[in-house]
Each structure stands twice: as structure tokens, then as C-alpha cells.
Amino acid sequence: MNKDRAIGAAILAGSVVGIVVYAWLVYAFPVVVLQVTAFVAVAGVLVVLAWIGWTMVTTPPPVPFEPEPTFTQTETVAGSEQKGQ
């Protein structure tokens, strides 16, 4: 559990540093940073959509479901006939 907390603290610290660096970059080079950010965001969404499409194209269709046969009321079960008649 102690290792998990250390990893969580590292992720938290890295995120805060990333926010500070990004804010400084937006302040120093606003046009370039915003263009790169928009490009990366749009490209990320399109990559996910391409991956979904690729998965749908390459995955074989599922095997059709065949329901189990059911017995009707007219069928009799062996041994259920009345004996002695």
C-alpha cells in the first residue's frame, strides 16, 4: 500500500508541474502552444475513432445464437404412462 501512495504522490506532483509548465508556455508562446494543443486534441480523437473503426473491420462477426430446443406439452416423458391399464 505504501508503494501505491508513493506512485500517487508522484503522479500528483507531475501533474502540478505539468500545469505550471503549460501555463508558462501559453504565456510565453500563446499562438504556437494553442495551435499545438488543438492539433494534439483533434488528432487524439481521430486516432481513437480510427482504432474503433479498425477493430470493427477486423473483428469477425459473432456466432449466431441458436436457442435450445424446448419440449411441447404433447410430448410425453418416458415412464410417465399409467401402468395397470
Compute the distance between CA of residue 28 and CA of residue 34 in angstroms, rounded to an integer: 11
Q: Say how far apart CA 77 and CA 64 lie, in whole Å.
A: 30
Mean pLDDT (whole number) for 60-81: 72
pTM of the model: 0.60
Instruction: Check pLDDT > 70 for residue 78.
Output: no
Closest C-alpha among 40, 39, 59, 63 to residue 51: 59
User: Under a CB-based contact definition with an 8 Å cutoff, are residues 26 and 34 in contact?
Assistant: yes
Provide the 3-class DSSP secondary structure of residue 20. helix
pLDDT 10s digits, 31-49: 999 999 999 999 999 999 9
Instruction: Measure CA 29 to chain center.
Output: 36
| pLDDT of the residue at 18 | 96
